[in-house]
Structure 1
Amino acid sequence: MKRVAVFGAGLTGLAAAWKLRSLGAEVAVFDPAALPGGVVRSVARDGYLLELGPNTVLEKGGALTEWIDGLGLRGRVVHPPAAAKKRFILHRGRPVAAPMSPWAFAASPLLSLQGKARLLGEPFQERGTAGDESVAAFFQRRLGAEAVERLIDPFVSGIYAGDPVRLSARHCFPKLWQWEREAGSLLRGILGGRKKEGKRVKWKMISFPEGLGELPRAAASALGGALHLGAAPALRRGTENWEVEGFGKFDAVVAAMPPRALAGWLEAGLPGVELGVIRACATAPVRVWHFGVERARVGHALDGFGVLAPGAEGEPVLGVLFSSALFPGRAPEGCVLLTVFQGGMRHPEWCRAEAEAEARAAAWEAVSRWLEVKGEPDLVEATLWKEAIPQYEVGHGRLLEALAGLEASHPGLFLRGNLRGGVAVGDCVASGFAVADEVARM
């Protein structure tokens, strides 16, 4: 039986440990934090249910579905109403529904006639030749500058809290990048991909009655005594295996943690290794605000998922989710919960500790103006993530090469987490399952 040490009890580490156990390995999981789950945390406060990190998960079979079923959570899955498919984009200071059909696209004020014509001309644009280019450059070639400013920019900020001028198209949107390379256009790539996939499994947005925090809590319960929170034991490379101080020898080590923490951990366990590329990986800071308010004081219908703000709008927040409209039990009767995201790579200054009071006032002013809210919020809760989301910027391939090189030169070492393979919840779970399979084959 293999003994495997997992450092990091975020979703990737928990998923890896759970899968390893199912494959017959003995595991021990270590994390200096007091709670499992990393940024996935759900907190009850004054009748509200607050998601301090991600608010929803997209499920499409695979690892996430296997994990949910294996943890016994299938019966607790909840889905949002059909109206949650509706998204709003801020346009000239007011929320405008993103077009979800050809007719809505034709009538939408989000793009000018010229912008719409340029976007519709995507199949006729030349295929790109750059090995790596920014998200902004990629979509400007394919869709036009106006579409980048009005549609792509807010979409990217909603996923990565990042700057499309700095992010890598190849690594942030690998499927789209590959489609252009293979089919010559995104539209032809999409149509061709559908033919190859055949009957598609639809994405389903899900959560749980007590929030996404149920997922790491269930995983922690399943691991039992194998999970060691508040623990950061020293790691040492032995002649034939790995040694974890106080816990003995292990055949393999999985590290799933943010870039800066990973660099520090590697420096302590493997003195002398080159870590410059890992340390240089940027991470977006995000300040999350939860505002609770009486429904009667909100003018907007809140009939959708939320509002994203393009950078060109010059607003102090990235966007707002209509949290209580997505899932039941998020707010007391007669009240609504709004979750606001601020900072990111666009405006990291809003995430300075000393800026909290100013950030709060700016966030509420913006959101209350967009949604026509009267008065002040009844509930205000703030969460600051100094390193919320790693940025897959142009040149991200160098980081991946560095990680692969470290693994190759230290057999039995596996470096994972959301700094490779995607930042979404489903990506992290898939990464954890994949590394478990790699360890099992070792």
Structure 2
Amino acid sequence: MNTIVLGGGISGLAYAHALLQGGTPMDELLLLEAAPRLGGLIETCLAEGYQFECGPETFVDDGSLLDGLVAELGIEAQVQRPPASAKLRWLAHGGRLEPLPMGPGGLFRTPILSFGAKLRLFGEPFVRRGKDPQEDFASFIARRFGPQVLDRLADPFASGVYAGVPEQMETQACFPKLFEAEQKHGSVLRGARKVGMKPGKIFSFDQGNAQLVEALAQALGPCVHTGFRAVSLQRDGSGYQVQAEDGRRFAAERLALALPAGPASRLLQTLSPDLAELTASIPFVSVSSVHLAYRESDLPPEIQGFGFLIPRKEATNQILGVLYSSRLFPSRAPEGMVLLRALLGGARNPGIQSQPDQALVAQVRDTLSQLTGLRAEPAFVHVSHRRRALPLYQPGHSAKLATMAKALQAFTGLDLLGLSYLRSSVAGCVREARRLARSHAG
């Protein structure tokens, strides 16, 4: 066997597909997944006529449609784009929703920032470069833009992207373009365009985000085996041997661990206790979703656009924000209905999943009432939980990855990949997985 891939999330699937595209014979490749389904965090659910995401709400296209993978799979015609109105995003401020400022002009017009905070923006190009490669995001933003931009803009942005809090996030690992703009050009504002700091365009598929997973599974065919829970890993000559809890064993010259850091750490213990300890030290946060559907006629006019985020200093409960799911993709709800999705938990609220579902639903309804005036009874309710869903790239994460890379040099044919390490987005995971696989071509 040439290669075994452990983990059927998006990273493992993209890695295996790239190997096939690069010439690895199908009978020389195995992808083994412990769960009964593939996709990892990507999960599209169907219930009562609603199509809703329990993982990432959308994908982000940087112009390459996930590094060319969509074209290779032949599913370009199934790509869905949101309407232009989705560009409208909201932020809770002063007990109401205000449009999120877009671009320099929006920053100077918004009521979210005081006049003094707006003047402070003019000074950003003259702030000295930071010298700490492990600087946290809160310090970075406060140093360059001031505390008000941190509290009112950067804080909700951090929770919306990573479900994190700025004080616990390394700037270089979480926002590498911001870090690069400062280090190379001395200013975020001056260097933004030069480092390619341009927001991507969101998209999904006709059958939801899971359509990407299904297309990959179909392309991989007999290479994929679900229900295989690996319990041990050891060297086998010049390769590796994996054993499942049911006693089955597989051996291959190359092994890719496309697993979350926790499971990867347990398998690595027999190979390298040091490497296992490093992977185990990556923390994760849990996130819960509450989906609610309402009749279009019951909705106030504020529920238009993409959705809203809630800064910590505006929060009255454990909600991070609300997405207007079927405003983005109308096919996600039956005609005449609107589907919303609230996100709760993250690093702000680590104990969120100990609460009963009805308590979470009550929080969401209370927030919608306060910020939008929506008081109608929902016609549909669904609650889902993702325990240890997202990694936290804490200060020191980049240095940790460098140490891990050195440790991996002792293990020819072993790859570590996935959301736990870098590229905390679907597009980033796909790109990194395909890069690694291509490096083994030929």
TM-score by length of 2: 0.93
Distance in 2 of aligned mates of 1:304 and 1:82: 9
Please give the per-residue CA displacement for 1:288-318, whole angstroms capped at 9, x wherever unaligned: 1111111211213422111000011123200
Q: Which amino acid aligns with 1:414?
A: D
Distance in 2 of aligned mates of 1:219 and 1:296: 40
Would the alpha carbon gap of residues 330 and 439 (structure 1) be closer, same or farther in structure 2, given more than 3 Å must change? same
Give the equivalent residue in structure 1 for 2:84: 82
Q: Which amino acid aligns with 1:180?
A: E
Unaligned 5+ segments in structure 1 are none
Give the equivalent residue in structure 1 for 2:212: 215
Which of 226, 243, 267 is the aligned partner of 2:223? 226
Please give the per-residue CA displacement for 1:371-409, whole angstroms capped at 9, x wherever unaligned: 221232111111111111101110113431342133112
Percent identity reads: 33
CA contact (8 A) 1:3 1:27 kept: yes
- SS across alignment from 2:409: helix
Give the equivalent residue in structure 1 for 2:323: 321
CA contact (8 A) 1:209 1:328 kept: no
Give the equivalent residue in structure 1 for 2:235: 237
Distance in 1 of aligned mates of 2:400 and 2:45: 35
Q: Which amino acid aligns with 1:232?
A: R
Q: Which amino acid aligns with 2:291?
A: H
- SS across alignment from 2:331: coil
- SS across alignment from 2:68: helix
TM-score by length of 1: 0.93
Give the equivalent residue in structure 2 for 1:20: 19
Distance in 2 of aligned mates of 1:189 and 1:410: 39
Distance in 1 of aligned mates of 2:17 and 2:98: 43
Give the equivalent residue in structure 2 for 1:433: 434
Give the equivalent residue in structure 2 for 1:374: 375
Does the alignment pair 1:203 with 2:200? Answer: yes
Please give the per-residue CA displacement for 1:314-345, whole angstroms capped at 9, x wherever unaligned: 23200000001001211111111001100000
Please give the per-residue CA displacement for 1:57-89, whole angstroms capped at 9, x wherever unaligned: 111244714110111110100100111111111
Which of 114, 122, 132 is the aligned partner of 2:116? 114
Give the equivalent residue in structure 1 for 2:276: 275
- SS across alignment from 2:365: helix
For residue 271 of structure 1, report the CA deviation from its aligned partner. Answer: 6.5
Aligned ranges 1:296-307 → 2 under 5 Å: 296-307=297-308
Distance in 1 of aligned mates of 2:151 and 2:228: 45
CA contact (8 A) 1:119 1:147 kept: no
Distance in 1 of aligned mates of 2:217 and 2:368: 36
CA contact (8 A) 1:132 1:168 kept: yes
Distance in 2 of aligned mates of 1:129 and 1:377: 51
Which of 67, 70, 87 is the aligned partner of 2:69? 67
User: Once structures 1 and 2 are overlaid, which stretch shifts more, 337-346 or 123-132?
Assistant: 123-132
User: Once structures 1 and 2 are overlaid, which stretch shifts more, 241-250 or 412-421?
Assistant: 241-250
Q: Which amino acid aligns with 2:393?
A: Y
Distance in 2 of aligned mates of 1:414 and 1:224: 22
For residue 435 of structure 1, report the CA deviation from its aligned partner. Answer: 1.3
CA contact (8 A) 2:129 2:187 kept: yes
Would the alpha carbon gap of residues 367 and 38 (structure 1) be closer, same or farther in structure 2, given more than 3 Å must change? same
Please give the per-residue CA displacement for 1:403-440, whole angstroms capped at 9, x wherever unaligned: 21331121111001112221111011111101102233
Give the equivalent residue in structure 1 for 2:128: 126
Q: Which amino acid aligns with 1:236?
A: Q
- SS across alignment from 1:439: coil
Give the equivalent residue in structure 2 for 1:138: 140
For residue 273 of structure 1, report the CA deviation from its aligned partner. Answer: 4.6
CA contact (8 A) 1:139 1:148 kept: yes
Q: Which amino acid aligns with 1:6?
A: V
Aligned ranges 1:347-426 → 2 under 5 Å: 347-352=349-354, 354-426=355-427
CA contact (8 A) 1:287 1:384 kept: yes
Distance in 2 of aligned mates of 1:119 and 1:282: 33
Q: Which amino acid aligns with 2:5?
A: V
Equivalent pairs counted in the alignment come to 433
User: Once structures 1 and 2 are overlaid, which stretch shifts more, 96-105 or 16-25?
Assistant: 96-105
CA contact (8 A) 2:90 2:307 kept: yes
Please give the per-residue CA displacement for 1:136-188, whole angstroms capped at 9, x wherever unaligned: 00011111100000000001101100010110011111121121111111122
Distance in 2 of aligned mates of 1:270 and 1:225: 29
- SS across alignment from 1:165: helix
Does the alignment pair 1:310 with 2:311? Answer: yes
Which of 21, 41, 51 is the aligned partner of 1:49? 51
For residue 3 of structure 1, report the CA deviation from its aligned partner. Answer: 1.0
For residue 103 of structure 1, report the CA deviation from its aligned partner. Answer: 4.3
- SS across alignment from 2:192: helix
Which of 153, 159, 162 is the aligned partner of 1:151? 153
Distance in 2 of aligned mates of 1:57 and 1:32: 25
CA contact (8 A) 2:3 2:252 kept: yes
Q: Which amino acid aligns with 1:107?
A: R
CA contact (8 A) 1:317 1:363 kept: yes
- SS across alignment from 2:385: strand
Distance in 2 of aligned mates of 1:242 and 1:276: 20
Give the equivalent residue in structure 1 for 2:166: 164
CA contact (8 A) 1:63 1:430 kept: no
Unaligned 5+ segments in structure 2 are none
Would the alpha carbon gap of residues 391 and 102 (structure 1) be closer, same or farther in structure 2, given more than 3 Å must change? closer
Distance in 2 of aligned mates of 1:302 and 1:65: 33
